[in-house]
Structure 1
């Protein structure tokens, strides 16, 4: 087993702040200017840091040497934002046997490859090699619809008909049918969010009803605040309890 992992990359630039803003706009990702000496873009737990170095100037003239692979939920939307910002394409977005690929240059000439593999390839390649969550549901189809349409997660099916729910790029949960399913008496999934009131409003607009618990100081929208991280609870179609929880304390 590997004893190290990769969680960030450092891009040097004559204008690190501008380059960070470009990545933030292209990938609709938060840009932090208070993370020490570097602006940082958070791509689902992988961090792109930006720095100014005396020995780096001008564009990267050998972008093919190191290519940043990014797996967006919607490559076409990302490509449109790159076009809108005047981006340059090495290879425009194309479908290769069910997989989507594109390679673009950022404003400094660094190469970025957009990748979205087919569900079949993701299932084949994504067999868990580390601990992963799993839970029972009463109906696979309604579960797939809820987690994909309401929660916006990527949902795939393996050869046994079991759902593989991509929580984020690092975590895939499985959901399996159980005819006599009884919902768990605890929260099966906590989803961190940046703005909990906005997240709750968005889910409510999609028909989600938030739970209320006796003795909990919940606000009108169902959010409990000032008692640790802000949190609100709801259920999936099988009655399993899920929460959205603020990243802030």
Structure 2
């Protein structure tokens, strides 16, 4: 039996152009292509949908994690992009920073110990 490897994620929104611009600015500032945003081989597809609310009312249900080697450098990059931090915590297993996109979806950067 094969182990499935994630290749892409679809993020539905009521404002796809705005959300896509935010993701490019915050997570892939050097990305210049159209369509799916390449996040190191994992593709982020942002699609306009009429079956979702403008804001996610349960943002903790699914959190996309980004494992980083230099928390401070990535934190500075995200601060420069103007992200909204939910929390930054030193935990037993590493440093965790949770932030929200304009639709209220949560993302995290994690530097494991």
Interval containing the TM-score (normalised by the shorter chain): 0.7 to 0.9
Preserved contact between residue 14 and residue 52 of structure 2 (Cα < 8 Å)? yes
State the TM-score, normalized to the length of structure 2.
Answer: 0.81
User: Can you give the 5+ residue segments of structure 2 that lack an aligned partner in the other structure?
Assistant: none
Q: Does 1:15 align with 2:11?
A: no
Equivalent residue number for residue 67 of structure 2: 71
SS at match of 1:83: helix
Structure 1 residue aligned with 2:105: 110
- Counterpart in the other structure of 2:4: 4
Deviation string, structure 1 residues 2-40 (Cα, Å, up to 9, x no partner)? 34221111111122222222222222352531xxxxx32
Unmatched segments (≥5 aa) in structure 1 = 34-38, 119-249
Which position in structure 1 is the counterpart of 2:83?
87
1:32 pairs with 2:33: yes
CA distance in 2 between partners of 1:52 and 1:74 (Å): 33
Aligned to 2:53: 57
| Structure 2 CA distance for aligned equivalents of residues 80 and 26 of structure 1 | 10
CA–CA distance in structure 1, aligned partners of residues 70 and 15 of structure 2: 28
Identify the structure with the greater strand proportion.
Answer: 2
Number of residue pairs the alignment of both structures matches = 112
Larger Rg: 1
The residue aligned with 1:41 is: 37
> For residues 105 and 2 of structure 2, what CA distance do their matches in structure 1 show?
28
What is the match of residue 228 of structure 1? none
User: Which ranges of 4 or more aligned residues in structure 1 deviate by more than 3 Å?
Assistant: none
TM (normalized to structure 1)?
A: 0.41
Higher relative contact order (CA 8 A, sep 6+): 2
